[in-house]
A and B are shown apart, each in its own frame.
Chain A
Amino acid sequence: MSSDEDPTSQRGLQGKPPEQRPHPTGRRNKQGIRIDPEAEAEPRVRKAVVSALVDNEPGVLSRVSGLFSRRQFNIESLTVGPTTVEGNARITLVVEETDPGIDQVKKQLAKLKPVMSVGELENNAVRAELVLLKVHGDEPDKVHAITQMYDGQTLDAGPRTITVQITGDESKIDDAVDAFRQFGIIEIARTGQTALARGDTPTTPGEEPAPEGTIAEEPSQPSANVQYSDD
C-alpha cells in the first residue's frame, strides 16, 4: 500500500504528528458516558439489594461468589436459602457500586446458567438480618433489658457468657451491636441481609407465585414488619 502520488515509491509511515492533528474537545467519564468536562462529578456509589432466583444445583454459590471476585464487584453480604419450589434457591446480595456497576452486577448474574431471574429491590423492600451476639455474663439484668429493647431473644445464658439473637434491618442491627458493646462482645455472627419486595411486586421479574398452599396467611396487621427508626 503506497502513496497515491507515486505508487512505486515507498515512503514509510507518513502524516502529521499527534500534536498537529485536530482533536475533538468532547470527553467521556470512566464509565464511558459522554460528559461535560466542566461539570464532571465523581460517580456516586450506592448500596443495592439484588435478589437472584437460582436453580439450586451443586456449585451455584461458588459460581456466584466467583463472579463477584473476578469482576471485582463490591459485595457486602450474600445470603442463600431454598424457596418453597423444589430445586430453587434465592440468593440475596448487598452490593456497593455505581449505577453502571449495579447494572453490570445484575446482567452478569443473569448470564450464569443456573440463575433464573435477577431483580434489584426497591428502597421500600422488606429487609431483615439476624445477628447472634455473645457477651460477658457479668450483668445479666442489663443484658436482658437491652435484648428486650431490640425485640431479641436470649438463646444461651451461663455464668460467664450470654448469647442473644436480634433480627431486623441493617440499621437496627448496627444499633443493637453498639448497645451491646458496653458488656464486651466476645463473639458475633451476622447473616447478612435477606429481602423481599413489598406487597404484590415480585422480588425478581417474572417470578412465578409460589404454588397454592405454600404461602402463609396474610398477616392481620401491616405492622408484621416493624419499621424500626434509628435514633
Chain B
Amino acid sequence: MSKHATAPQDETATDTNPDSETDAESTTEATPTQVTNGATAVVRSLENAGVTHAFGVQGGAIMPVYDALWDSSIRHITMAHEQGASHAADAYGVVKGVPGICLATSGPGATNLVTGIADAAMDSDAMLALTGQVPSGMVGSDAFQETDTTGVTAPVTKHNYFASDATTVGKTVGEAFALAEAGRPGPTLVDLPKDVTFGETDDDPGPPKAPARSSPSPDADPDAVIAAAEVISRAERPVCLFGGGVIKANASEQARAFAREYNVPVVTTMPGIGSFPEDDELCLSWAGMHGTGYANMAITHTDCLIAVGTRFDDRLTGGIETFAPEAEVVHIDIDPAEISKNIHADYPLIGDAATVLEQLYDAIDDDPETDAWVEQCTTWKEEYPMDYTTPEDEPVKPEFIVEAFDEATDDDTIVTTGVGQHQMWAAQYWTYTKPRTWVSSHGLGTMGYGLPAAIGARFAADDDQSVICFDGDGSFLMTLQELSVAVRENLDITVAVLNNEYIGMVRQWQDAFFEGRHMASEYNWMPEFDKLAEAFGAKGWRVDEYDEVAAAIEEALAYDGPSVIDFHIDPGANVYPMVASGGANGKFALSEDQL
C-alpha cells in the first residue's frame, strides 16, 4: 500500500496534470483528521491551519506523525534528504505566501534540516519544522538518534518548542504555525517526543493562535509618519529601496503606487527583486555587491532613502561609512530591532509595509521635485549599461542563456537558484516584474538551494507557471539527489546548469584577491549532467554552442516533466559590476583591474 504514490510519468494523479483535481478542492472535501492521540492532534492542527502540503523524510521518532498523515488530506512529498525538505518547504512558502511545512525524524533527520531552517531565518521566510524526538523519559540519556534539537535550532528559529504533553501538542503546533507568519516572518520548530505523539487525547486543537505579543500593530506612529512625509516632500534626490519585506507584506501594489505617484526612482535589494517591475522606467534594479552600476550610483548620491522592509545587509551596503552617505533615511520595518541596527534611521516607521506606505501616501502634501534626479538616474542607466559580448569563437556566455530563457517564458515564470556566479547572472539578466517569482538563498547563501526550491515552488505555483532553476555545477552537485523526487512526482521543472566546471564564484575571488591560486575551486572532472538526468528518469540535454541554446530551451520547456540542460559555459566568465567587500557602492568595479 502506498499513499499518494504515482509511478513516474503516470498522468492520472500528478499535480502538473491540469485535469486532476486541484489540491485546494480535495482539501475542502476532505474530512478532518479525527484526534485520538498527540500525532493526530498535530496533523489536525496543520489541517486547521489550512496546510495542504508537507515535505519530509520518515524515521523512527517521527513515525507516529507520519502514520497520522495516512488518513489526512495533507499531501506529503517524500524528499531524498531532509535538507531538500527544508528548502522545498521554504520555497513553497515563499511562492505561496504561507508557512511551508517540513518534517524529519530525530537526530540526523533534525540536524539535516538545520541548513534550511537557518536559510529561512536569514531570509525571514515563514516555515514550520516538525521533528521527532526520543521519548521524554529518555531525553538526556544520549539515546539512539537523540540530539538536543531545540538547543541546536534555537539560534536559527524565531522560537522553538519542546512538546511535553499530548493534550496540548496540537495547540503548540498551531501556535508555532501562527508565530512563523506573525509580524516579521521566520522559521519555528516543534520537537515531538514519541511518547507525546503516541499519548492519548481527543482534544481538537482548534485554529492556530499566535502567542501574546507576537503580532505587532500594523500602523506606524502618526507623528513619525508626518515627519517622514515632510522630509520626502523636501527631498531633491529621493530613492525608494524596496526589500524582501515588501514582498512578504504583500505590499508590492502600494510600493508601486507610491514610487509612481511621487516619481521616485526605485532600487531593490536582492530579496526585494520582483517587488517593483524591472521594466518600469523608474526601476534601477538591485543594488549592492553585484548590483547594477546605476542602482549603486543612485543609492550613493540620494539625499533621502525611503527603505522598506530591508535589514541593510552588508552585501547591500558595502562599507557602512560610505553607504548612502548623504541620505536622510526613512526606514519602514515591522521589526523594531532592524531599525538602526546597521544603518541609522533618521525617520523610523515601525509597522506593516503596506499599511505604512498608505499612511505615508496620505501624509505627503507636496510632491518632491524629482524630474532632474530621475533624468540623472536615466543618464546613469545609459552610462553603466548591463551588457556583455558574445564572441562566436568563445564558449557560450551565461548572460546569454539567462536572457534566452527569459525571452522564451512569460512574466509569471518562477526562477530559483543555487549560490554563486550563476545566481548573480540569473538576478542580473532576467527581467523580473512580479513578486514571488524570484526564489533564492540570500542571507545564508546556501549552495544546493535551487533544485529542492524548484520542487517546493512547483507545488506552490499555478499549473500554468513555469519553474526554472538556474544552478551552478557545484551547487547542483550538493542536492541533485532531489531529481529523484521530481521524477517520481513528475514535476514540470527545468534545471539550467550553468556549468563552468569551477566553484566559479570562488575562482573569481581567487583571481581577484588570491593571485589566481585556484585552491579547491577547480573540479577537473564533472559528471555529465544530461546523462545523469536521464539515469534519474528525467530528460537531459547538453549545450556547447550558441546555436544549440534556443532549441534546447524550447524542448526542455515543452517537455512535461523534469528536465536538465547542462550548458557548458565560458569557464572564465566573471560577475561584474562588483563592489569589493566593505567597499563603497559608488566605486563598483566594472572589471577585475578596477578592484
Q: Which residues of A contact B (CB under 8 A)?
A: 1-4, 10-18, 21-34, 58-59, 62-63, 66, 70, 100, 103-104, 107-108, 110-113, 116
Q: Is B386 an interface residue (CB 8 A)?
A: yes
Asked if residues B320 and A32 are in contact (CB atoms below 8 Å), the reply is yes
Question: Which chain B residues (346-405) contact chain A, with CB distance < 8 Å?
Answer: 382-390
By the criterion of a CB under 8 Å from any partner CB, how many residues of chain B are at the interface? 52
> Does B42 touch A at the CB level, under 8 Å?
no
B26 interface residue per 8 A CB criterion: no
Assuming the A-B contacts A10-B387, A62-B154, are A1 and B589 also in contact, with contact meaning beta carbons closer than 8 angstroms in the complex? no
Q: Mark B579-595, 1 if CB is under 8 A from A, else 0.
A: 00000101111110010
B187 at the interface (CB under 8 A from A): no
Decide if A12 touches B214 in the complex (CB within 8 Å). no
Q: Of B256-264, B322-330, B438-446, which binds chain A?
A: B322-330
28 A-B residue contacts at CB 8 Å? Answer: A2-B387, A3-B382, A3-B385, A3-B387, A4-B382, A4-B385, A10-B390, A14-B384, A14-B385, A17-B590, A24-B300, A24-B301, A24-B325, A26-B325, A26-B326, A28-B344, A32-B340, A32-B344, A34-B325, A58-B162, A59-B150, A62-B154, A100-B340, A100-B344, A103-B340, A104-B341, A113-B158, A113-B214
B337 at interface by CB-CB < 8 Å: yes
Beyond A12-B389, A24-B325, is A32–B335 a contact (Cβ under 8 Å)?
no
**Are A24 and B326 closer than 8 Å at their CB atoms?**
yes
Evaluate contact between A111 and B337: CB separation under 8 angstroms. yes
Q: With A12-B387, A15-B384, A24-B326 given, name 17 new contacts (CB 8 A).
A: A1-B429, A4-B382, A10-B387, A10-B390, A12-B389, A14-B385, A15-B293, A17-B590, A21-B586, A24-B301, A27-B321, A32-B320, A59-B162, A100-B340, A108-B337, A110-B336, A113-B211
Residues of A contacting B584 with CB < 8 Å? 23
- Report if B137 contacts A (CB, 8 A): no
How close is A108's CB to chain B, nearest CB, in angstroms?
A: 5
Instruction: Give the distance to chain B from A8, nearest Cβ to Cβ, in Å.
Output: 12
**Pair A2/B385 contact, Cβ less than 8 Å:** yes
Chain B residues, CB < 8 A from A107: 336-337, 339
Q: Is the CB of B340 within 8 A of A11?
A: no
Interface contact tally, CB-CB below 8 A: 124
CB distance from B62 to the nearest CB of A (A): 22
B342 interfacial contact with A, CB 8 Å: yes
| In the complex, chain A residues whose CB is within 8 Å of the CB of B327 | 34
Task: Name the contact of B384 in the complex, choosing from A13, A70, A111 (C-beta under 8 A).
Answer: A13
Kindly state whether residue B577 has any CB partner on chain A within 8 Å. yes
Contacts of A13 in B (CB 8 A): 293, 384-388, 576-577, 590-591
**A162→B140 CA distance, assembly (Å):** 39
Instruction: Decide if B586 touches A23 in the complex (CB within 8 Å).
Output: yes
When C-beta atoms are compared, the residue in chain B nearest to A19 turns out to be: B587
Which residues in A have their C-beta under 8 angstroms from that of B337?
104, 107-108, 110-111
B297 neighbours in A (Cβ, 8 Å) = 21
Partner of B300, one of A12, A23, A59, A70: A23
Interface membership of B527, Cβ < 8 A: no
A residues less than 8 Å from B342 (CB atoms): 32
Which residue of the partner chain B has the closest CB to A18? Answer: B587
The one of B151, B339, B389, B589 that contacts A10, using a Cβ cutoff of 8 Å = B389
Contacts of B122 on A, CB cut-off 8 Å?
none
Contact B383 A32 (CB under 8 A): no
Question: What chain B residues lie within 8 Å of A108 (beta carbons)?
Answer: 337
Q: A21-B587, A104-B341, A113-B179 are in contact. Are A14 and B383 (CB under 8 A)?
A: yes
- Contact present for B386 and A16 (CB under 8 Å): no
Which partner residue on chain A sits nearest B322 by CB separation? A27
Q: Are B154 and A12 in contact (CB under 8 A)?
A: no
Residue of B nearest to A69 (CB): B155
Main secondary structure of the interface of B (DSSP, over half): loop
Query: Which residues of B from 163 to 192 have beta carbons under 8 Å from A?
Result: 179
Chain B residues within 8 Å of A24, by CB: 300-301, 325-326, 586
Measured between alpha carbons, how far is A15 from B325 in the docked complex, in Å?
Answer: 22
Residues of chain B contacted by A27 (CB below 8 angstroms):
321-322, 325
How many Å from the CB of B344 to the closest CB on chain A? 4
Query: What residues on B are CB-neighbors of A17 within 8 Å?
Result: 590, 594
| Docked pose: A22 CA to B159 CA in angstroms | 46
Q: Is B3 an interface residue (CB 8 A)?
A: no
State in angstroms the CA–CA spacing of A32 and B312 once bound together.
10
Q: In the bound complex, what is the Cα–Cα distance between A17 and B586 (angstroms)?
A: 10
CA separation between A27 and B337, bound complex, in Å? 23
A4 to chain B, nearest CB (A): 6
Distance from B16 Cβ to chain A, minimum over Cβ atoms (Å): 33
What A residues does B335 contact at CB under 8 A? 111
A14 touches B158 (CB 8 A): no
Minimum distance in angstroms from B235 CB to a CB of chain A: 15
Query: What is the bound-complex CA distance between A63 and B320, given in angstroms?
Result: 29
**Hey, which chain A residues are within 8 Å of B300, CB to CB?**
23-24
Separation of A59 and B149 alpha carbons in the complex (Å): 13
Docked Cα-Cα span, A31 to B300, in Å, equals 18
Q: Which residue on chain B has the smallest CB distance to residue A103?
A: B340
Q: How far is the CA of A70 from the CA of B594 in the complex (A)?
A: 36
A11 touches B387 (CB 8 A): yes
Closest B residue, CB atoms, query A117: B213
Q: How far is the CA of A18 from the CA of B158 in the complex (A)?
A: 41
Shortest A113–chain B CB gap in Å is 4
Q: What is the CA–CA distance of A65 and B299 in the complex, to the nearest angstrom?
A: 37
**In the complex, which residue of chain A has the Cβ closest to the Cβ of B341?**
A104
Instruction: Please tell me which one of the listed residues B151, B213, B383 contacts residue A15 in the complex, with CB atoms under 8 A apart.
Output: B383
* A32-B340, A103-B340 as given contacts; A18 in contact with B594, CB under 8 Å: yes
Nearest Cβ on chain B to A63's Cβ, whole angstroms? 6
Within 8 A of A (CB), among B251-302: 293, 297, 300-301
B532 at interface by CB-CB < 8 Å: no
B343 within 8 Å of A (CB atoms): yes
A95 to chain B, nearest CB (A): 15
Whether the pair B340, A15 counts as a contact (CB closer than 8 A) is no
Contact A18–B312 (Cβ < 8 Å): no
How long is the Cα–Cα vector from A59 to B152 in the complex, in angstroms?
12
Asked if residues B344 and A11 are in contact (CB atoms below 8 Å), the reply is no
By a CB distance below 8 angstroms, the chain A residues around B151 are: 62
Tell whether, in the assembled complex, residue A34 and residue B383 are in contact, meaning their CB atoms are under 8 Å apart: no
Closest residue of chain A to B428, judged by CB?
A1
Contact B591 A28, beta carbon cutoff 8 Å: no
Residues of A close to B159: CB separation below 8 A: 112-113
Q: Give bound CA distance, A146 to B517, whole Å.
A: 68
A15, A31, A110: residue with the most chain B Cβ atoms closer than 10 Å: A15
**Residues of B close to A104: CB separation below 8 A:** 337, 341
Residues of A close to B586: CB separation below 8 A: 18, 21, 23-24
CA distance A219 to B174 in the complex (A): 48
B154 close to A63 (CB less than 8 A) = yes
Report how far A26 CA is from B320 CA in the complex, Å.
Answer: 12
Contact mask for chain B residues 386-428; partner A; CB cutoff 8 A; 1 contact, 0 none: 1111100000000000000000000000000000000000000
Residues of A near B590 (CB, < 8 A) are 13-15, 17
